[in-house]
Amino acid sequence: MEKIPIIISIIGVILIIVLGLQNFNLTGNTTMENTENINKQKNTKDNMENTIVLFETNMGDIEIKLYNDMPITTGNFKKLVEDGVYDGVIFHRVISGFMIQGGDPTGTGFGDPKIPNIKDEFTHKPGNFNNRGTISMANAGPNTGSSQFFINLVNNNFLDTKHPAFGEVIEGIDVVDKIAEVKKDSQDRPIEEVQIIKASIIE
């Protein structure tokens, strides 16, 4: 009969240990889940932060918000800005009611062969279309985008499957419109140069 209390005591100790381990596991899992959630929230916050680029031109300033869901195109553009590729570059092709085009360091429209091409990147998400005020990659065909870009003066949605829109003008659309109205020659090249004096990342 004396063995029964001892057995009950042993069972009680075992139950306490088991319950303690279960509580430990639950706490551990909850901590891991909380850490994962914090990381996800941080990543989401980081992804929401779009880069802002400033073009200081001889006709006024233009601020452009780059889309964060276009890592190839936006990444390429940001690198070119950081490397100073656009400093001193002109808008070599301007067509009223259509677009203004620039970004060619040679100023010819043929592009700089030293700058590599990038793969076309189409998200087809709302906002990633060639609407008025958006900036898109100029190219000579599929996967030939490089440094040249254009800013849409109107909704040019027939270009949506050929030219990836990767950002939009958030300040200075009046400057864009002013550039569109300069005098051009028969090749749509401004008679008086319209120049990007300095391109920089401000956010």
Q: Is 150 among the catalytic positions? A: yes
The catalytically annotated residue of 98, 117, 132, 189 is 98
CB 145, CB 92: distance < 8 Å: no
**Is 98 annotated in the active site?**
yes
Task: Measure the CA–CA gap between 102 and 125, rounded to whole angstroms.
Answer: 25
Catalytic status, residue 156: no
CA 104, 107, 108, 113 torsion-angle sign: negative
The single residue of 139, 148, 152, 195 carrying the catalytic annotation is 139
Catalytic status, residue 163: yes
Amino acid residing at 135:
I
Indicate if 152 belongs to the active site: no
22 in catalytic set: no
Q: How far apart are CA 94 and CA 120, in angstroms?
A: 23
Catalytic residue among 54, 128, 163, 166: 163
Give bridge partners of residue 196 from the DSSP assignment: 57
Is residue 124 part of the annotated active site? The answer reads: no
Please pick, among 54, 66, 80, 159, the residue that the annotation labels catalytic.
159
- Annotated catalytic residue: which of 150, 156, 166, 195? 150
Q: Which of 66, 77, 92, 93 is catalytic?
A: 93
Q: Residue 56 in 3-state DSSP? A: strand
Residue 141's Cβ-side half-sphere holds a number of Cα atoms within 13 Å equal to 0
For residue 145, what are the β-bridge partners?
118
Q: For residue 103, count CB atoms less than 10 angstroms from its CB and return exposed for 0-12, middle for 13-18, buried for 19 or more.
A: buried
- Choosing from 66, 92, 101, 166, the catalytic residue is 101
Length of the chain: 203
Known catalytic residues?
93, 98, 101, 139, 150, 159, 163
